[in-house]
Amino acid sequence: MTATRRNLDLTAVVRLGELGDQITPFALRAACDLRIADLLADGPRPVSELAVSAGAHPGALLRLLRALAARGVFTEVADATFALTPLAEPLRGDHPMSLRDSFTLLDSDVRAWAAIGHTLRTGEPAFGHVHGQDYWSYLADHPQESARVDDWMRSVNHLHLRTVLGAYPWRRFGTLVDVGGGTGGFLAGLLTRFPGVRGVLFDLPHVVSGAPKVLAEAGVADRCEVVPGDAFGAVPAGGDGYLLKTVLPGFDDDDATRILGNVRAAMRPDSRLVLLEAVLPPGDAFDMAKLFDVHAMVLTGGAHRSTEETGRLLERAGLRLTQVVGTPTLTVIEALPAD
């Protein structure tokens, strides 16, 4: 029945208003950039003081914080004086599940998102269209943005370590090669939990240059070799286990197959490959994988895949899927050499 003006149900309009709001994400990310939650860690502070510490304009900061307080992030406890709320706590850098570095606000990403229409018309990633080079090459040429992306990856690893370390028998590996392992946040957490495992961290040279600090801070540097390289070239050989954590979704099927083929070539007949990925479920059910899939489409030209699609990629690369274990975050997919 068509809604008339008199009996109009506004539920959909209100819900769409929330879903379509681009102001809250930008405001939240700007507050993270300014480290506002860290500045409030010791208790409420007036905006005039926060602005000095954050290098912000007091009037502008006041308007930003009022908007966020209206969303439950921060609270105005007295006129122009703000405090943390429970919702704001994980925005602190010292929170065990800190999300502060996950909410990046990168000019290059934002410009790519603004060109999502290009992706929808052509199927090609908007990032390359806007910047004239693919996402990974762009990061290699822009160290500051690359470091922000590495920090983002590391911050997400707190949650991943909590949810996936208990879901698979990692201690079985004498040596685990983490291909595309970033600056080593996940591998460091894994090595800390399993003292009998040795690690090999493999990623592009400009990325692994940040790894020695991460590994030393975790106290595992003596059990982890850092190998700079390109997974389209050759992957370090001889590992008992190979890990690809949220790497394949950054590539289209052909490139993902090439990477898997190089991993397969490095594996012994008895080595195991473990993929950790957000898997695309069927139907309408909400799953972050469906959002990450659009992110991959716009930025890298990659894709999040269903288990069946991943199984087919593995087959093309000479591997066979042996086990799938769901966790509250990523899915563990194990594969062995097919022959």
Ligand X SMILES: C[S@@+](CC[C@H](N)C(=O)[O-])C[C@H]1O[C@@H](n2cnc3c(N)ncnc32)[C@H](O)[C@@H]1O
Site residues for ligand X per CB under 6 A: 136, 153, 157, 180-182, 185-186, 203-204, 207, 230-232, 245-247, 250
Shortest reach from residue 262's CB to ligand X, in Å: 9
Number of helices and strands in the chain (H, E) = 16, 10
Residue showing the smallest CB distance to ligand X in the complex: 180
Choice between 233 and 282, CB closer to ligand X: 233
Choice between 64 and 155, CB closer to ligand X: 155
175 vs 163: CA distance, rounded Å: 22
Radius of gyration of the CA atoms of the chain, in A: 22
Nearest to 259 by CA among 309, 198, 203: 203
Shortest reach from residue 218's CB to ligand X, in Å: 14
Shortest reach from residue 339's CB to ligand X, in Å: 25
Shortest reach from residue 22's CB to ligand X, in Å: 24
Choice between 138 and 194, CB closer to ligand X: 138
Nearest to 100 by CA among 29, 186, 47: 29
Shortest reach from residue 209's CB to ligand X, in Å: 11
Q: Which two three-digit tokens encode residue 133?
A: 């080079």
Sequence-distant (≥ 6) Cβ neighbours of residue 3 within 8 angstroms: 9
Shortest reach from residue 264's CB to ligand X, in Å: 15
In one letter, which amino acid is 6? R
214 vs 319: CA distance, rounded Å: 32
Choice between 232 and 322, CB closer to ligand X: 232
Choice between 74 and 168, CB closer to ligand X: 168
Choice between 54 and 299, CB closer to ligand X: 299
Q: Which two three-digit tokens encode residue 16?
A: 């769409």
SS (H, E, C) 79-96: CCEEECCCCCHHHCCCCC
